[in-house]
């Protein structure tokens, strides 16, 4: 099986062309083994490139976390997907349309490996996250380690919870993130973002991704944090998001508008593995 290793600000992917090669059966156990950084290829997510059966869509792709679970959306993965199909000659278009299990997206190669992604309109309805809470609010409260934590929720095609913190560098992201991500209030688990607001145009962010743990960067998490910051009147329409792996730029004009994310996609190497 031939594959490529790619990353978006350190959030790394194994990308498999399922169009020009006969694939083995992708199981959650196989993905889990391949994701092992000592015994396998090593990655946060696996991206599977497929043909589209819809004439208005260029490609269909599937996204799997390192634990083998399939997820709906991945912002950094979308940028790497666009760069992969362009590099490998699967398309000559600079603007492509793709679909995942839950949504359609427009991806645009702006300049070499700089990719702009239309992430769609953020969703704040608790039932659509899903979040087991009947009333839509800007802030909710959850009890973790005998402390009440305020958070906000949003879906960017996948579920996100965002907490505003004062000192991001020392915040216990791994432990708090795991407890919230696996809380019974979130029946499909949830990604957890920890946001420190530097000013109205700049935030710092760390994200605990469900099924993965903390990653170097999370594109949909960056969009979620900005969506919540703008919806709660804390941020401006254009925001730089500084993550451990680098910066993303998010634009959103508010409710009833699509959100756009711009950032790099890096091709690391091509390889093949015998299964």
Q: How many other C-beta atoms are found inside a 10 Å radius of the C-beta of residue 58?
A: 19
Block residue for tokens 């305020």:
150
Distances (CA, A) of 154 to 58, 104, 144, 226, 252: 28, 18, 20, 10, 14
Is the Cα dihedral 228, 234, 240, 241 positive or negative? negative
Q: Are 229 and 237 in contact (CB under 8 A)?
A: no
Between strands 246-251 and 114-120, the pairing is: unpaired
Q: Are 21 and 14 in contact (CB under 8 A)?
A: no
Please provide the DSSP assignment of 14-63 as one string.
Answer: EEEESSSS-PPP--HHHHHHHH-TTTS---SEEEEEEE-SSTT-SEEEEE
For this structure, is 74 an active site residue? yes
Among the listed residues 80, 161, 218, 223, the single catalytic one is 218
Please provide the DSSP assignment of 114-157 as one string.
Answer: EEEEEEE--B--GGGTT-S-SS--S-EEEEETTEEEEEEEEESS
Among the listed residues 74, 80, 161, 223, the single catalytic one is 74
245 contact partners, CB below 8 Å, separation of at least 6:
7, 8, 9, 10, 11, 216, 217
Please state, in angstroms and rounded to a whole number, the distance separating the CA atoms of residues 156 and 78: 13
DSSP-H helix ranges across 51-108: 75-87
Phi, psi of 6 (to 5 degrees): -140, 165
Q: What residues act catalytically?
A: 74, 218
């Amino acid at each position: 099986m031939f594959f490529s290793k790619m990353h978006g600000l350190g959030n790394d992917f194994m990308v498999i062309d399922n169009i020009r090669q006969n694939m083995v059966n992708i199981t959650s156990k196989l993905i889990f083994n391949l994701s092992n950084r000592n015994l396998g290829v090593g990655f946060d997510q696996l991206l599977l490139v497929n043909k589209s059966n819809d004439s208005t869509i260029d490609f269909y792709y599937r996204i799997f976390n390192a634990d083998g679970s399939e997820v709906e959306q991945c912002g950094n993965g979308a940028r790497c997907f666009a760069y992969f199909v362009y590099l490998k000659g699967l398309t000559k278009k600079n603007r492509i349309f793709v679909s995942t299990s839950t949504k359609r997206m427009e991806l645009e190669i702006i300049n070499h490996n700089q990719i702009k992604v239309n992430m769609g309109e953020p969703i704040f309805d608790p039932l659509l996250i899903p979040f087991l809470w009947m009333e839509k609010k800007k802030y909710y409260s959850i009890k973790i380690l005998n402390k009440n934590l305020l958070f906000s929720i949003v879906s960017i095609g996948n579920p996100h919870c965002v907490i505003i913190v004062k000192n991001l560098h020392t915040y216990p992201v791994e432990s708090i993130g795991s407890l919230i991500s696996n809380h019974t209030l979130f029946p499909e688990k949830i990604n957890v973002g920890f946001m420190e607001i530097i000013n109205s145009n700049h935030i710092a962010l760390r994200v605990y991704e469900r099924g993965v743990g903390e990653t170097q960067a999370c594109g949909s998490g960056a969009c979620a944090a900005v969506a919540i910051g703008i919806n709660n009147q804390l941020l401006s329409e254009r925001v730089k998001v500084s993550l451990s792996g680098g910066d993303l730029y998010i634009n959103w004009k508010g409710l009833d508008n699509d959100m756009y994310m711009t950032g790099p996609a890096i091709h690391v190497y091509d390889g093949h593995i015998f299964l």
